[in-house]
Amino acid sequence: MATRNGPTRHIFITGGVVSSLGKGLTSAALALLLRQRGYRVKLQKLDPYLNVDPGTMSPYQHGEVYVTADGAETDLDLGHYERFTGIPCTRNSNYTSGGIYRSVITREREGGYLGKTVQVIPHITDEIKAAIRSLDADDVDIAITEIGGTAGDIESLPFLEAIRQYRHEIGRRNGLFIHLTLVPYIKAAGEMKTKPSQQSVGILRTIGIVPDILICRCERPMTAEHKAKLSLFCDVDENKVIEEKDVEHSIYEVPIELARQDVDVYILEMLNLHVNPLDLGEWKRMVDTLLAPPAGTVEIGVVGKYISLRDSYKSIYEALTHGGIVNGAGVRIRMVESEDVEKSGAAALLDGVAGILVPGGFGDRGIEGKIQANQYARGNRIPFFGICLGMQCATIEFARNVCGMAGANSTEFAPDTPYPVIDMMIEQKKVTEKGGTMRLGAYACAVADGTAARQAYGQAEISERHRHRYEFNNRFREKLQRGGLRFSGVCPGRDLVEIIELADHPWFVACQFHPEFQSTPLRAHPLFRGFVEAALRAAARGEGRKTKRAARPGKA
Ligand code: GLN
């Protein structure tokens, strides 16, 4: 077990040259390695934008909004943190400039700084340091703080100054800086170039940060010469110039690649922590299954409205991959734009899939396409999984096409519908502000005996994370039940419908919550496991093609 002496150690991870280098993934992979060497790790992300949280942003801006159990709407990198490490994130795991400024300005209005001029340095930087310090605890050996943005951004400056000060205060043996950078291959020259990384480190050095470890994202392997050059010009030990080459198949290979280069060993040595043995056995077995799934590959159609940006449904795609792993199968995802379903019809776009998933979303664009996809899955007995808005669409489809309630809808899309089968939750009706006001975070759900949901979960009470304003309208419960809809999950005490399903169907389950946030590659979420299992059964029966073509699971 952990051999910790002294305080919580801090690792600060910055990014250079370009964004989207996979800082979140790298942070998560390092956290996994340190955890598997017996240390108790916590992760945190600091985002330089001015939104108080990403909850009000479109997925096109910022990818998916990840919801923590304690109800924070956060950056999708927290999803990587939880998936790689299984360590739950909380409100303290994501701070933005907006949130930091809001605290400082609120305190100023309350008179907390009476007599003083309130400034970026020291007041904003102190607030950032307090955010970092929130991870200091007896049960945290190592805290990893990822700084969003790229070195050189105006917005990141207060964060970089804060981490510089923080490391200075805790001392060199207790904190270190890792810089994730890009070593591009320039086709015309036929060469890999280290200059952008040198310049990026140069930017950090002008503000007093000298990275201890350089992790270089690259398409091709780096040579000893590249490493020597970066070591000399960036003032980083040669063995601490680490290569992070694009992984071939899955993001879950990243920790294995980093461990191969002993980066976790260097981290522990620099932080004056004992280098315990690394236990990556279970992880490696999982990756082996992922890369060569013994049960073949199934294709799942995901019908959404933010399909063009893969990050919009990050946790969904990952959870499907996990559902595959636990079944020994690969999952290939067919991404279908719901508006295209409206134009071309569900049959044209979903023919041959072994399962259909309709994820969450907001606003009425593409709704009718999702409803058509629902109808297609129900009518053709294709395994179906609806999540949040997906459940609401399934309810609408069932009301319209099975219970004869023409024009049934959600009041989110049709306020005057004759059958508001989905309606705004009572407590939401008085809410006027948009940020952080939905029903958010983990709530209990009682799962009825003898249902597909209960079979998947294997237990009567579960807890799942939510993010919605609308809900199933209990006024229509009896009528839909008579039509054959089952209410297999209900929020105890509140009587909110949480899970619906169809008895007379191979697997048709839809839930109001977001199960994808709790799925990890080592512990697939029960509903994703059940859904992929049903899809494999459907494929074996010849409904939906089961192909041998290698999947690209996990590669998002
Ligand atoms: N727009 C729907 C609601 O607010 C569904 C939300 C979601 O899918 N996350 O209830």
**pLDDT above 90 coverage of the chain, percent:** 86
* Known catalytic membership, residue 218: no
Query: What DSSP string describes 309-320?
Result: SGGGGHHHHHHH
Does residue 470 register a pLDDT over 50?
yes
- The band of 306, judged by pLDDT with boundaries at 50, 70 and 90, is confident
Distance 87 CA to ligand 1 centre (A): 26
The confidence band for 555, taking pLDDT boundaries of 50, 70 and 90, is very low
Q: Give the per-residue pLDDT at 3.
A: 56
Residue 4 pLDDT grade (very low, low, confident, very high; cuts 50, 70, 90): low
Residue 475: the pLDDT is: 95
In the predicted structure, residue 384 carries a pLDDT above the cut 90 = yes
**pLDDT per position as a tens digit, 312-325:** 899 999 999 999 99
The stretch 464-484 carries a mean pLDDT of 95
| pLDDT value for 545 | 52
Which residue, among 497, 490, 448, 503, has the nearest Cα to 471 in the 3D structure? 497
CA pair distance 61, 251, nearest whole angstrom? 22
Q: Which residues line ligand 1 (CB under 6 A)?
A: 360-362, 388-389, 412, 467-470
Q: Which of 316, 362, 421, 473 to mutate to test the pocket of ligand 1 (most atoms within 8 A of CB)?
A: 362
Rounded mean pLDDT, 506-534: 97
Q: Which pLDDT band, with edges at 50, 70 and 90, does 551 fall under?
A: very low
Beta partners for residue 182, in sequence order = 217
pLDDT tens, position by position, 108-149? 999 999 999 999 999 999 999 999 999 999 999 999 999 999
SS3 115: coil
Tens digit of each residue's pLDDT (9 = 90 or more) over 394-446: 999 999 999 999 999 999 999 999 999 999 888 888 888 888 888 899 999 99
Distance separating alpha carbons of residues 196 and 175, to the nearest angstrom: 25
Confidence of residue 549 (pLDDT cuts 50, 70, 90): very low
Calpha distance 87→287 (Å, rounded): 19
Question: Does residue 516 have an active-site annotation?
Answer: yes
What number of other Cβ atoms are within 10 A of residue 424's Cβ? Answer: 18
Sequence length of the chain is 556
For atom 3 of ligand 1, the residue with the nearest CA is 468
Q: How far is the CA of 412 from the centre of ligand 1 (A)?
A: 9
Q: Report yes or no on whether pTM surpasses 0.85.
A: yes
CA nearest to 498, candidates 421, 387, 333, 359: 387
Per-residue model confidence as pLDDT tens digits over 15-30? 999 888 899 999 999 9
The pLDDT of residue 490 is above 70:
yes
Q: Write down the pLDDT at residue 556.
A: 37
Q: How far apart are alpha carbons 78 and 146 in whole angstroms?
A: 10
Containing 461, the helix (H) or strand (E) segment is: strand 461-468
Q: Is pLDDT above 60 for 550?
A: no
C-alpha 387: how far from chain center: 15
Whole-number Å distance between alpha carbons of 277 and 258? 15
Residue partners of 303: CB distance under 8 A and separation at least 6: 336, 337, 338, 341, 350, 356, 357, 358, 369, 370, 373
The confidence score (pLDDT) of residue 191 equals 92
Q: Is the pLDDT of residue 547 over 60?
A: no
Distance 182 CA to ligand 1 centre (A): 38
Percent of the chain with pLDDT strictly greater than 70:
97
Q: Is there a contact between 383 and 512 (Cβ–Cβ < 8 Å)? A: no
Sheet holding 470-472, edge to edge: 409-410, 420-424, 470-472
Quote the pLDDT of residue 544: 56
Residues 89, 216, 388, 491: which is the catalytic one? Answer: 388
The whole-number pLDDT of residue 494 equals 85
Provide the mean pLDDT of the chain: 93
Determine the 3-state secondary structure of 274 from DSSP: coil
Distance of alpha carbon 138 from alpha carbon 123, whole angstroms: 27
Provide mean pLDDT across the span 190-213. 95
Number of Cβ atoms within 10 Å of the Cβ of 461: 11
